[in-house]
Amino acid sequence: SAGSCHSVSSSGMAGADGDDSLYPIAVLIDELRNEDVQLRLNSIKKLSTIALALGVERTRTELLPFLTDTIYDEDEVLLALAEQLGNFTMLVGGPEYVHCLLPPLESLATVEETVVRDKAVESLRKISHEHSPVDLEVHFEPLVKRLASGDWFTSRTSACGLFSVCYPRVSSTVKAEIRQHFRNLCSDDTPMVRRAAASKLGEFAKVLELEYVKSDIISLFTALASDEQDSVRLLAVEACVSIATLLPQEDLETLVMPTLRQAAEDKSWRVRYMVADKFSELQKAVGPEITKNDLVPAFQNLLKDCEAEVRAAAANKVKEFCENLPEDSRETIIMTHILPCVKELVSDTNQHVKSALASVIMGLSTILGKDNTIEHLLPLFLAQLKDECPEVRLNIISNLDCVNEVIGIRQLSQSLLPAIVELAEDAKWRVRLAIIEYMPLLAGQLGVEFFDEKLNSLCMAWLVDHVYAIREAATCNLTKLVEKFGAEWAQNTIVPKVLGMANDPNYLHRMTTLFCINALSEACGQEITTKHMLPVVLKMSNDQVANVRFNVAKSLQKIGPVLDSNCLQTEVKPVLEKLAADQDIDVKYFAQEAIRGRDYDDDDLEAPDITLYSL
C-alpha cells in the first residue's frame, strides 16, 4: 500500500483536475463551522471527502491544524471526528505521515465525554499499527506519556488503553518507562483511572515478558483486587483470567490463588457476582488441580450466596463448570458437592435464580448418564416443570432435547403435558408465544402419536387466539409440523380443521384460514392445494368483508406457483378479474397486484394504471 500512497500524493490533489480554486480551504472550513449542529455533523462525517478535495499536503498542513485547534464542539461532532480520524492514514499521505493525526486525536482523548474519548482511543489504537517502530517511539509513545501524566482524570483514563499497543514495538528503555507509567495509573488517586487501569490489566499483561508479569503485574493485580472501591476490585477479577492463563501452573498457587480466593469471598456482592460470572473462564485458566481443591468449594459458596444476583450468575454456570471438571473425578464431585446445592436452588425463593438454573440443568444429564439422570436429576426436572414461574417451565421445555438423548422423553411426558397445557393457556401472550416456538421441537421428540393425541388440539386452539401475534405464530408452527410429519398427516389432521374455519362467523378466523393456506400450500403440495384448499379460497372471494376478499387475492398470488397453469387460467384468473373490479379500492389493488404478479400468457389482461382506480 506504500506504492499507492505515492501515486496519491503526486496526483491526488484537487489541482490535478485543474480546478484547485474550486475548493478553497476557507469554504470547506466554513462548512465544518456551520452554526447548525446538524450541518456541522454532516460535514464532519464527510471529512474524508473534504480531505480528498484538499489533497494530502493541504490536509496535513491546513485541515489537521484547524481540526486540532477547534476541538471545542458538541460531543456528537467530536465523536464523528474521532471516528473519521481513525481511517485517515491514506488521506494524509500514508503510513509515513500517519503521526500527523496524533495531535487532534490527543485532544479528543482528553475530553470529558466517555464515548468521544473511547472512540479517540480506539482510533489511536488503530493508527498505532500504521506507525513505523521509529515513529512509534518518536511520536506515539510521547503522546501516551503525556496523556498518562495529564492533570485531569480523562487523559489518564485514555492512556490506560494505549500502553498495550505500543509496548511490544519499542526499545527496552521505553518499555521500562511504559511499565512505570502503568504502575502509577494503577495506584492513581481517582477511582475512574484505577478502574480504567484495572480493566486494561489483563490486556497489558499479555504483551509483557513473563518475568515482568511475575514481578509487576502480580503486585498491581493484588493491589487492585484489594482496592477500597468494589468497582475496581471487580475489574481485577476479569484480569485474573488473562493473568492466570499467562503463568506456568506451578506459580498459580502462590501468585494468583490467594487473591482469587479473597475475591470469591469479597464483602461486596458485585465482586462475588463477577467471580461467578467469569467462573468457567477462571476454571479453564487455573487448571484441573486447583479447580478440584479450590474452585469446587468456592463454587458451592457462590451457589449458596446470600444475594440472588450472585446465585443466579453461579447457577448459569453449573453445566459449563461440571462439563469442564477433570474427567477422573467429575462424577464424584458433581454427585457429592454440586448436586446438593443444585437441589436447593430448585426451590430458591428468587425466580431469576430458578430460571437461570432451569436454562442449564438439563445439560447435566449428558454428563451424568442415564442412571444418575433418572435417579437424581429427573425429580428436579419434574419439580421445575411444576414451578410457579412460567419462565422456569419454559426453560426446561426448551432444553428437552438434552434429556431425550440420554433417557428418552417418555420418562418426562406424563409431567410434560400438564406443564405444556398450562403454558399454552397462560394469560401472558408472550409466554404462549414462547411455548408455540418449542412445539416443532416437542413434536419431533414426542412423536406423531403422542402429538395427535395430546398436543394437536392446542395447536389448533392457538389459531383462534385473540392476539394476532399468537395466531401468526400458530400458522407458522403448522408449516413446521407439516414439514416434520408430511403431507398425508396434514391432510388427515390439520387441513380439515383449517378449512372449517372458513365458515366461522368471525372474519379474523376466516382470514386465519387464508393465512394458513398461504403457509401450508407449498408443504402440502399441488394435489392437496388444488383439490382441497383452492375451492375454499375461491369461494371466499364472495366474502362480505373486504379484508377477507383482498386477502383472497393475496392468497391466490401466493399459492399460484403450486397450481398448474390450466387451473390458473380456468379457475384463478376469472376470480381475480372479478376482484379487480371490486367496489373496494384495496381489494382492487391487491387483485391487480396478483394479476400482475402472475405471468398469464394472454395479454388481454393488460394491467391498468393503478392510479385510475385511486381516482
Partner 1 sequence: MSAYSTERILPVQAMSSAATAPPSVDKVDGFSRKSVRKAKQKRAQSSSQFRSQDKPIELVQLPLLKDVSAQEQPELFLKKLQQCCTLFDFMDTLSDLKMKEYKRSTLNELVDYVTVSRGYLTEQTYPEVVKMVSCNIFRTLPPSDSNEFDPEEDEPTLEASWPHLQLVYEFFIRFLESQEFQPSIAKKYIDQKFVLQLLELFDSEDPRERDCLKTVLHRIYGKFLGLRAFIRKQINNIFLGFVYETEHFNGVAELLEILGSIINGFALPLKAEHKQFLVKVLLPLHSARSLSLFHAQLAYCIVQFLEKDPTLTEPVIRGLLKFWPKTCSQKEVMFLGELEEILDVIEPTQFVKIQEPLFKQISRCVSSPHFQVAERALYYWNNEYIMSLIEENSSVILPIMFASLYRISKEHWNPAISALIYNVLKAFMEMNSALFDDLAATYKSDRQREKKKEKEREDLWRKLEELELRRGIQNSDGIIPT
Residues contributing to the site for partner 1 (CB under 8 A): 1, 4, 7-8, 12, 14, 17, 22-23, 27, 31, 35, 39, 46, 48-50, 52-53, 74, 87-88, 90-91, 112-114, 152-153, 189-192, 195, 228, 230-231, 267-269, 306-309
Minimum distance from residue 312 beta carbon to partner 1 (Å): 10
- Nearer residue to partner 1 within complex by CB, 104 or 440: 104
Q: Grid coordinates in use for 344?
A: 436447593
Chain mean position to CA 536: 43
Distance CA 33, CA 37 (A): 9
The closest alpha carbon to 101, from 48, 153, 154, belongs to: 48
Minimum distance from residue 305 beta carbon to partner 1 (Å): 8
- Nearer residue to partner 1 within complex by CB, 190 or 415: 190
- Nearer residue to partner 1 within complex by CB, 76 or 472: 76
The closest alpha carbon to 14, from 47, 45, 49, 46, belongs to: 49
Minimum distance from residue 306 beta carbon to partner 1 (Å): 5
Q: Dmax over Cα atoms in the chain, in whole Å? A: 89
Minimum distance from residue 154 beta carbon to partner 1 (Å): 8
Q: Grid coordinates in use for 360?
A: 442449564
Q: Grid coordinates in use for 362?
A: 438439563
- Nearer residue to partner 1 within complex by CB, 17 or 209: 17
Distance CA 470, CA 463 (A): 7
Distance CA 437, CA 302 (A): 33
Distance CA 2, CA 95 (A): 8
- Nearer residue to partner 1 within complex by CB, 272 or 317: 272
Minimum distance from residue 195 beta carbon to partner 1 (Å): 8
Q: Would you say 436 and 472 are in contact if contact means Cβ atoms under 8 Å apart? A: no
- Nearer residue to partner 1 within complex by CB, 311 or 549: 311
Distance CA 155, CA 158 (A): 5
Minimum distance from residue 368 beta carbon to partner 1 (Å): 29
Q: Grid coordinates in use for 327?
A: 474427567
- Nearer residue to partner 1 within complex by CB, 189 or 564: 189
Minimum distance from residue 596 beta carbon to partner 1 (Å): 36
The closest alpha carbon to 119, from 150, 75, 65, 89, belongs to: 75
Q: Would you say 264 and 305 are in contact if contact means Cβ atoms under 8 Å apart? A: no
Q: Would you say 162 and 121 are in contact if contact means Cβ atoms under 8 Å apart? A: yes
Minimum distance from residue 553 beta carbon to partner 1 (Å): 41
Amino acid at 453: E
SS3 of residue 582 by DSSP: coil
Distance CA 196, CA 464 (A): 55
- Nearer residue to partner 1 within complex by CB, 1 or 583: 1
Amino acid at 109: A
- Nearer residue to partner 1 within complex by CB, 129 or 539: 129
Angle between helices 400-407 and 429-446 (to 10 degrees): 20
SS3 of residue 591 by DSSP: helix
Minimum distance from residue 54 beta carbon to partner 1 (Å): 10
Minimum distance from residue 115 beta carbon to partner 1 (Å): 9
- Nearer residue to partner 1 within complex by CB, 51 or 455: 51
Contacts of 577-582 spanning 24+ positions with Cβ under 8 A: 577/605, 578/541, 579/541, 579/549, 579/550, 579/552, 579/553, 582/546, 582/549
Minimum distance from residue 131 beta carbon to partner 1 (Å): 18
